[in-house]
Structure 1
Amino acid sequence: MGSASEARFHYVDVSSVTDGLRHATSGTTLTAILRTSDDVRIEARYEPCTAAPAAGATDTAIVLAHGFTGSVDRPAVRRAAAVFARHAAVVTFSFRGHGRSGGRSTVGDREVLDLAAAVAWARSLGHQRVVTAGFSMGGSVVLRHAALFGGDHESHTDAVAAISAPARWYYRGTAPMRRLHWVVTRPVGRLVGRYGFGTRIHHEDWNPVPLSPVEAVPLIAPTPLLVVHGDRDPYFPLDHPRMLAAAGPCELWMEPGMGHAENAAGEELLGRLGNWLVRE
């Protein structure tokens, strides 16, 4: 079954929040367990903006979507969240099958529901403007999320940045991606993923195949879109960001010397991303 059969999503439930709070107060860090529309429990963390109001703090919340094998507690995710928090409030979360979240990873398919729950939670905390930034697998998820949860949906995003994202599925053109496919598709590989990387991976193939990132891009407008990619990315070569940029309206940043995803994103780039997300 092809990706054209994937319909837009219309529902997300954030009723299960461990601390019961619905409105963030100044200086308050919150942790929560969110429940997705397919009943997966997702760990999430909210951190307020650290900038003083006079320094340009906004009412924007940035929802950060990590890469495959990441989680809310990974050092690279925490570093990115700390930089983003200088510009806006930040929500981080662990995708299904990662960290302390429930379920099993579907490597970018049902993860769109995890992101939708995190965006809806940010809005429930009083933020009128919520934007998304995703790295690698998270980059593919933020693209599909922006395409599928549009308009006035409670989980829509007001701007989206995809960093080190693939343009198409099933890519095996680099050695790191061939290793990743081995981890995802082989029983012994999934054991390595579980015990070596702390990532629980679903054994079933996609059915239907989800909308690909490059197919999602034309559906995102008029929401502002930024594509960021390093010219030394060992996973996805430069034809991936170029395909994404050619597919629809977006801004493209090619980063000299940058490798892959949140681990390779330096503080200067993260600062520029934060500026873009709060100003678009």
Structure 2
Amino acid sequence: MSPGPEVDPGRSRVPSITSRGHRASLLTADGVRIEAAYTPRSGAVTAGRTGAADDLALVVAHGFTGSLDRPALRRAAAAFHGRAAVVTFSFRGHGRSGGRSTVGDREVEDLAAAVRWARALGHRRVATLGFSMGGSVVLRHAALHRPAHGGRTAAHTDAVVSVSAPARWYYRGTASMRRLHWAVTRPTGRLVSRVGLHTRIHPEDWDPVPLSPVAAVPLIAPVPLLLVHGDRDPYFPLDHPRMLHAAADPATCDLWLEPGFGHAENAAAPDLLDRIGGWIAERQAGAGSGTG
């Protein structure tokens, strides 16, 4: 991979965007280097609209053990290129990003850096979409990076989609989650994760325990929120999305319980991704520069 220039996410400008996009190294607020990629909306380059302020950008956050170069994330991101410019990135400890994974805690800073980069490229409207661990991160990010006193911050989001996310921490009710906890909490599990899954995990426990997804959800409104979950999810059963939905503002939150859908980006079918893209476009249609 050609990593491209290192970028200050708060001030970056990319002088030349091609139809193949651009790679960059972003520096998070806590000093971690994050690999990121930008792809313009289909047709935007040839139409001379690259980086136009009225274009929508979608920042896509992968699940645990993923990265921006994993085929499942690339396929999911490609499904949105006709509706928006797309930013993908690798969370800390994943792919070619620096640092070590904190499994949803400090990853909020990674997402914030990617959102800032999207805005620095000229996009006034930025939506966030996350899968599994990324789904919990987009919820917490939206709660922690809220506009203050009616203003805007470079890291705020204008719409949130959380797919296959947990509602609460330390869940061990499925075999898949028991295996994941072994991988995260045991030295042998972290070794297997590093060597076999190319995921470097921080060895220390959370201190303090971060804001949980279900505690974050009530803080997101009035930003539009979509929760998507499958009835065949092997990690988190349906009480997780239902708990999140019950905690959210009913005026701004939609819940889709998808028959036959498994877990996260690996299981997301093209028709589901298309409907998600339509939901984002509908919520942002007519939002204009006043929302960003």
TM-score by length of 2: 0.87
**Offset from partner CA, 1:85-108 (integer Å, 9 cap, x none):** 111000000000000000000000
Contact 2:9 2:113 in 1 (8 A): no
Q: Which residue of 2 aligns with 1:143?
A: 139
Q: 1:78 aligns with which of 71, 74, 78?
A: 74
Report how far residue 279 of structure 1 moved.
2.0
Judged with a 3 Å threshold, the aligned counterparts in structure 2 of structure 1 residues 251 and 277 are, in CA distance, closer, same or farther, namely same
- Unaligned 5+ residue runs, structure 2? 1-5, 284-292
Runs of 4+ displaced beyond 4 Å: 23-26
Report how far residue 26 of structure 1 moved.
6.5
| Cα distance in structure 1, aligned partners of 2:156 and 2:13 | 21
**Offset from partner CA, 1:176-199 (integer Å, 9 cap, x none):** 000000000000000000001000
| Cα distance in structure 1, aligned partners of 2:16 and 2:143 | 28
2:260 matches 1:257: yes
Judged with a 3 Å threshold, the aligned counterparts in structure 2 of structure 1 residues 202 and 142 are, in CA distance, closer, same or farther, namely same
Report how far residue 14 of structure 1 moved.
5.4
Aligned-pair Cα RMSD in Å: 1.8
Contact 2:9 2:116 in 1 (8 A): no
2:123 matches 1:121: no
Judged with a 3 Å threshold, the aligned counterparts in structure 2 of structure 1 residues 190 and 44 are, in CA distance, closer, same or farther, namely same
Report how far residue 276 of structure 1 moved.
1.2
| Cα distance in structure 2, aligned partners of 1:24 and 1:259 | 39
| Cα distance in structure 1, aligned partners of 2:195 and 2:40 | 33
Q: Which residue of 2 aligns with 1:267?
A: 270
Report how far residue 278 of structure 1 moved.
2.1
Contact 1:34 1:43 in 2 (8 A): yes
Judged with a 3 Å threshold, the aligned counterparts in structure 2 of structure 1 residues 220 and 23 are, in CA distance, closer, same or farther, namely farther
SS at structure 1 position matched to 2:24: strand
SS at structure 2 position matched to 1:202: coil
After superposition, where does 1:3-82 map in structure 2 within 5 Å? Answer: 15=8, 21-22=13-14, 25=17, 27=19, 29-51=21-43, 59-82=55-78
Judged with a 3 Å threshold, the aligned counterparts in structure 2 of structure 1 residues 226 and 257 are, in CA distance, closer, same or farther, namely same
**Offset from partner CA, 1:123-143 (integer Å, 9 cap, x none):** 000000000000000000000
Contact 1:24 1:125 in 2 (8 A): no
Q: Which residue of 2 aligns with 1:201?
A: 201
Report how far residue 153 of structure 1 moved.
1.2
Aligned length: 263
Identity of aligned residues (%): 70
Q: Which residue of 2 aligns with 1:9?
A: none
Report how far residue 23 of structure 1 moved.
5.7
| Cα distance in structure 1, aligned partners of 2:25 and 2:282 | 30
SS at structure 1 position matched to 2:246: helix
Judged with a 3 Å threshold, the aligned counterparts in structure 2 of structure 1 residues 123 and 23 are, in CA distance, closer, same or farther, namely farther
Report how far residue 21 of structure 1 moved.
3.9
SS at structure 1 position matched to 2:201: coil
SS at structure 2 position matched to 1:191: helix
* Structure 2 counterpart of 1:30, one-letter code: H
**Offset from partner CA, 1:220-244 (integer Å, 9 cap, x none):** 0000000000000000000000000
Contact 2:143 2:217 in 1 (8 A): yes
Contact 2:94 2:200 in 1 (8 A): yes
* Structure 2 counterpart of 1:32, one-letter code: A
**Offset from partner CA, 1:153-210 (integer Å, 9 cap, x none):** 1100000000000000000000000000000000000000000100000000001100
- Unaligned 5+ residue runs, structure 1? 1-12
TM-score by length of 1: 0.90
Q: Which residue of 1 aligns with 2:98?
A: 102
2:84 matches 1:91: no
